[in-house]
A and B are shown apart, each in its own frame.
Chain A
Amino acid sequence: MNPRTASPTPRPGFVLEVERSTPPILFHHGEGFRLERLPAGRSRVIYPPSPLEGLPDPAGAIRHALEHPLDSEPLPALLRPGMKLTIAFDDISLPLPPMQRPDVRQQVIETVLDMAAAAGVDDVHLIAALALHRRMTESELRHAVGDRVYDAFAPSRRLYNHDAEDPDGMVVLGVTDHGEEVQMSRRAAESDLVVYVNINIVAMDGGWKSTATGLSGYQGLRHHHNVATMLKSRSFMDQRKSELHHSNWRQGAVLRDSGPRIFQIETTINNNSFGTSGSLSMLQKREWEWTARDRATFLAMQGGLQVMSPAARRRAFQSWRAPYAITSVQAGEVEAVHKVTTENVYRQQLVAVEGQTDVLTMGLPYICPYNVNSIMNPILVMCLGLGYFFNLYRGRPLVRPGGVVIMTHPTPWEFHPVHHPSYIDFFEQVLADTTDPAEIEARYEVQYATDEWYRHLYRTSYAYHGVHPFYMWYWGAHALSYLGRVIVVGGDRAAVRRMGFAPASSLSDALEIAGDVVGSHPSITHLHLPPFVMADVS
């Protein structure tokens, strides 16, 4: 069997019409869960497809992909002694939740390094391509690349985090025909070859976004990480209709013409986030299929969570490592590779949904790309709900224009002091003033992006860049302008109000509140995730 293509098609996604006999539906609720009954006769639930089978021989598949790339010479042919090789890899924001060891990146990087060693390449640097995300800690880097790679490269400072604010470490490679500057890490730009090691978890990831965004800085990112771009990205999960991607692809063209040679390695994983067996397996089962054991485990877990302190709950959830399996590996030229990758993502996530809904409900889990080993603060709640989940559609949004989104999440007024310092000020200062993305962008962005203290914390501590909370807010800009109302169930009332949303204490209250906007008998659709699902709305 060709190890690049995957095995039998598992159970596809499913849209359930809720009836009287439908059991309560699971809603993620931060570090906890809710079981909610949806009104019968007018509600439906979108379930993700079951996890695809993983590749039977990942190591073999990786080697095969590198030796038989798409639209490119094989990797070994690109390696020669004396060359400057840079391996860039996706950062802590992928995958979610983090995967069990060995991480995909470790498997791929070890193969690349073996090939480089065989070719006699000495000058190798490994860079965590985190753009304006926080630096990864030693243990996070060890988890991503493995101890062997870490111990071989980190002490000699050849494995490190990208620093987009290093005054000597960044170069501008050119400008697109739209006037967008293309910025890149100097080390990568001056390399003879950049090998990018990607993990694709949603359709937004990968392609030119890996290098044009991951190795860039504020100067390059501001051209697509802005309100106007996000309003024109419908959705940013659908590359064909995403201005975010168009801009990245234009920057990619500049990279291709004026930058280093890039060898892109993309991987997809299945959506086996919680395991098909084990303590959390019921989270990815459909409720009516729960066994007595699942029910008992769930009740015990709910009981246990109730008596834990918030910090202990957070630790317990954050320690979860997902048993993902690799479903595909493809390497070579960026665009050719990414086309195949996207198909593989869709194969795992896409569910056909008929028509839009008045009310879209979603249970927000404890994690989003920006709070791994951290706290999901209110801004991240907004970003996960109105940025990521709202945009998990192809065609049309799941919810109709002027409709309502109801999210469940405790939304505590809490911020991680190390990871999210500028978020604190964004929440206290900017959102206290206005929640309008365009106004926020015009009045505050530059000040936060160029703040010396944030720059210091981004470079030397483990803080997201000063401008990062702005991007989080822009991520939801389309939803904010599109929706009639946003309601958060079970959230800290003050924090929810600060963001301009309506707090509700229960789902039925939320539906009452939604009634003002969508009438008393609205149609309701629940997006049952994680694991990830993407709606193909007709």
Chain B
Amino acid sequence: MIPEALAGRRIALTGATGFLGTALTEKLLRSIPECELVLLVRPGRRGATERIRRDVLRNDAFDRLRATLGNDGFRTETTQRLRAVAADVSADGLGLDAEGRDLLAGCDVVIHAAAAVAFDNPFDLAVETNLLGPIRLVELLGELGTTPHLVSVSTAYVAGNRRGFAPEELLSESHFAVAMDWRAEAASVRRSRDSIEDDSRSPERLEEFSAEADAELGAAGTAALSAKREQIRQRWVRTRLVEVGRARSASLGFPDSYGLTKALAEAALTETRGAVPLTIVRPSIIESAVAEPFPGWIRGFRMAEPIIISYARGLLQDFPGIPEGTLDVIPVDMVAAAVCAVAADGPAADGRPNVVQVASGAVNPFRFADLHDWSHAWFCEHPIYDERNQPISPPRWSYPSRKRVQTQLDRARRTLLAGEKILSALPVRGEKAGRAAEFAEKRALVERALSYVELYSGYVECQATFGVDRLLALHESLTPDDQQNFGFDPRRIDWHRYVTEIHLPSVIAQGRLKTAPAVRAGADRDTRRRQQVLSPQRHMAAFDLENTLVASNVVASWGWLATKRMPVADRARLVASTLAEAPKLLDLDRHDRSDFLRYFYRRFAGAPVDQLADDAMEMFSDLLLRQSFPAAIRRVRHHRALGHRTVLITGALDFVIAPFAPLFDDIVCASLTRTRSGAAYTGQLANVPPTGESRAEALLDYAAREEISLANSVAYADSTSDLPMLEAVGFPVAVNPETKLATLARRRGWLIENFRRAPGGPRKLLPLAQPVVRR
């Protein structure tokens, strides 16, 4: 009897926060009432015990046990039987403290289920976790001088891209095994990491990253651009390391670095385990539970789910694979039960490492075409709804070659990218700019589909059959009660029922897909975001001026003021010379806004202070208000009415925006120094104009001085040069955004407001003051 065999035993478990780990913890707690558990987890910020409480015990897997024991009973049970130990498989000695070491030393069984399971992990992370992790574990056991039964969870795919039968034997015993030196691989990956890191810092690369950051953000200021460049660099390093892993795995005949590192780990464990008795359990693709703790239980997204969801959304119009090929899936509760049985059974009597495969393909094959056909039928009956509340019709796959699917997707990706580039080069704003953002989103979806095809098609094309003789023998050896409570015979799975009644409903629920047209009762997303922005709890609303409140700019204001008292004859010359200079001005502006302002404001040298103040008042009515966004002005007033502090932060000059003063509690703007007499301006800036990052700094200073919470504040702006300001607050709003900001705002879920210009306002490039006609 399994419960008796493990009664009174202390069992250590790594990877408890993972899918299989959670299932194992639950199974051991519920079905083996007299064992004690030591969970080795990364402590996170809150410590190991709290992490277990939050990330493991709160999972719905434990609902069943909690229901049986009651809340108090459950708490008592877990407090008495569970010990959480802070551990890290990537640290020597697993980073255990003295108490942890004592606890581990007293264990009878150690189940190692921690792994980096993503198929697209950077190679170094896969090696550190999957290969060196278990080695550190056995080294620690050796150091502690204990020899518990080590049950190491591996994967059936250590067999690689092999066709045909893969029995339950050590890789070294296989005919197909390629001799691999795990030490050399580990050493090499570390060198690769170093060299890629070095490469990423070379001037050429940094220049590439810089260009990419510029293209994405524009003149967003040094801080934002630096952060972006560094982010791009790190992403580049990661991508390179993923590529290294993929290439190395492919060269050794593995679909990805997960299979390879697990295979290396098996070899390494066998070699370094010393006196520690070892059983290797190799599950195939672990999916949702068929029965325990309840049918359909799943934690996180596994291999098939992203594909199923992309399929249901109509994103994967086709998928490569062999329709009659086997998809080797095994429900998680069977794996957990098998691990328990293995632990209870104890190590092999001869001291040799034992291998048990938990897979279905050899005895109850699940055809890839069946999955598709059943899913198709199921989604036809239970369609997913798109954002327009239309049911999505699931596509029919024709199983073309992988290359063809990749070519198709790649073509789509390139078309979208071209459209995106064209749109972002056009001077469009607001809704039109949103179109570019839609392109970017569609491209991201296509890229994701492409990555699924690259990542997963290896698995669906796999034609290996994993032997399960030992598994079945183990199952045979169980008592009828154990077979009832710890069943793991894959022959008992009814795949059609599993797919249509258990797995798909569970995946849909987990993925929070829209299974019915949205009822119009609730507010839509924009309305909800607007409500958040206009919540009375906000402290401050900061506004940019140009293209946020008014569709005007410093050049237009200057043109108006310069022509206010100019004879009609001279106006044409002024317009011509300004337009001729436009490309230079635009370039300067794109590069650095404050340089542009500094250069441009020189034009005000010698301008009389009083006259400009009078004229600015007229310009307010004749130009600024007529080019304003009335809805934006309403918004400022709305914030004020809610008791928020309203602040205008702009690179425009103080006398230009003075008439806006009653709208705002405070104004942060540029100003010019005056001549000694004070009657005229010098054309030189008196302060650093608040643009780009200095705008964010001005905002930070202001908030600090006034004791305002920026996290609770709102900022309105129109361009990526305002990004630092938008990022500084908790509730950024993109107003009539240009393409780059529109894309960013959509991606980040910011509120986008497309305010309409007041009707009938001037639309000329350089609007001039109206000459007074005397008759």
Contact = CB atoms under 8 A, between A and B. Distances in A.
A428 B774 contact: no
B378 interface: no
Contacts of A424: 630, 634
B621 A418 contact: yes
Among B617, B630, B761, the one with the most A-chain Cβ atoms within 10 Å of its Cβ is B630
A415 interface: yes
B671 to A, nearest CB: 21
B662 A453 contact: yes
Interface string A422-459: 00110010000000000000000000000011001000
Contacts of A460: 617, 620, 659
B552 interface: no
A310 interface: yes
B774 A462 contact: no
A215 to B, nearest CB: 23
A460 B463 CA distance: 82
Interface in A21-43: none
Contacts of A421: 625, 630, 633
B758 interface: yes
Nearest to B640: A453
A417 B626 contact: yes
Contacts of A425: 634, 637
A101 interface: yes
A81 B621 CA distance: 40
A417 B759 CA distance: 8
Interface string B748-764: 00000000001111000
Interface in B624-665: 625-626, 628, 630, 633-634, 637, 659, 662-663
A418 B625 contact: yes
Contact of A416 (B637, B758, B773): B758
A311 interface: yes
Nearest to A425: B634
A456 B760 CA distance: 23
A314 interface: yes
A424 B629 CA distance: 11
A452 B662 contact: yes
Contacts of A19: none
A147 B775 contact: yes
Contacts of A412: 759
A415 B760 contact: no
A351 to B, nearest CB: 36
B659 A453 contact: no
Query: A-side binding surface: helix, strand, loop or mixed?
Result: helix
B772 interface: yes
Contacts of B663: 453
Interface string A114-144: 0000000000000000000000001100100
B758 A415 contact: yes
B625 A417 contact: yes
Nearest to B550: A417
A257 interface: no
A253 to B, nearest CB: 38
A93 interface: no
Interface residues on B, range: 20 to 34
A73 interface: no
Interface string A302-325: 000000001100100000000000
Contact of B760 (A139, A311, A452): A311
Contact of B774 (A142, A310, A375, A452): A142
A428 B774 CA distance: 40
B617 A139 contact: no
B759 A461 contact: no
A375 B772 contact: no
A424 B630 CA distance: 8
A461 B760 contact: no
A311 B772 CA distance: 21
A310 B637 CA distance: 29
A34 B767 CA distance: 35
A417 B630 CA distance: 7
Contacts of B775: 101, 147
A460 B618 CA distance: 9
A461 B630 contact: no
B634 A428 contact: yes
Contacts of B760: 310-311, 314, 375, 414, 416
Contacts of A452: 662
A312 to B, nearest CB: 10
Contact of B626 (A101, A147, A418): A418
Interface in A137-160: 138-139, 142, 147, 151
Contacts of B628: 417
B772 A461 contact: no
A120 to B, nearest CB: 29
A461 B621 CA distance: 6
A519 B521 CA distance: 39
Nearest to B628: A417
Nearest to B771: A139
Nearest to A377: B759
Interface string A149-186: 00100000000000000000000000000000000000
Given A416-B758, A418-B621, A139 B773 contact: yes
Interface in A395-420: 412, 414-418
A142 B774 CA distance: 8
Contacts of B626: 417-418
Nearest to B627: A417
Given A101-B775, A139-B773, A417 B634 contact: no
B637 A453 contact: yes
Query: Counting chain A CB atoms within 10 Å of each CB, which of B628, B663, B759, B770 scores highest?
Result: B759
A428 B775 CA distance: 42
B636 to A, nearest CB: 9
B662 A417 contact: no
B773 A456 contact: no
A311 B620 CA distance: 20
B759 A456 contact: no
B389 to A, nearest CB: 23
Contacts of A462: 621
Given A147-B775, A453-B637, A375 B621 contact: no
A310 B759 contact: yes
A147 B774 CA distance: 7
Given A147-B775, A452-B662, A453-B663, A414 B634 contact: no
A491 to B, nearest CB: 16
A452 B665 CA distance: 13
A138 B662 contact: no
Given A424-B634, A428-B634, A453-B637, A417 B773 contact: no
A462 B619 CA distance: 11
Given A416-B758, A416-B760, A425-B634, A456 B625 contact: no
A189 B557 CA distance: 40
B642 to A, nearest CB: 14
Contacts of B770: 139
A417 B761 contact: yes
Interface in B662-690: 662-663
A482 B758 CA distance: 35
Contacts of B622: 418
Interface string B559-583: 0000000000000000000000000
B150 to A, nearest CB: 71
24 contacts: A138-B772, A151-B774, A310-B759, A310-B760, A375-B759, A415-B630, A416-B759, A417-B625, A417-B626, A417-B761, A418-B621, A424-B630, A424-B634, A425-B634, A428-B634, A453-B637, A453-B662, A453-B663, A456-B662, A460-B617, A460-B620, A460-B659, A461-B620, A461-B659
> Which 8 interchain pairs have the tightest Cβ spacing?
A417-B758, A414-B759, A461-B621, A456-B662, A418-B625, A311-B760, A417-B625, A424-B630
Given A375-B759, A418-B621, A452-B662, 20 more contacts: A101-B775, A142-B772, A142-B774, A311-B760, A314-B760, A375-B760, A416-B758, A416-B760, A417-B628, A417-B630, A418-B625, A421-B630, A424-B630, A428-B634, A453-B662, A453-B663, A456-B662, A460-B659, A461-B620, A462-B621
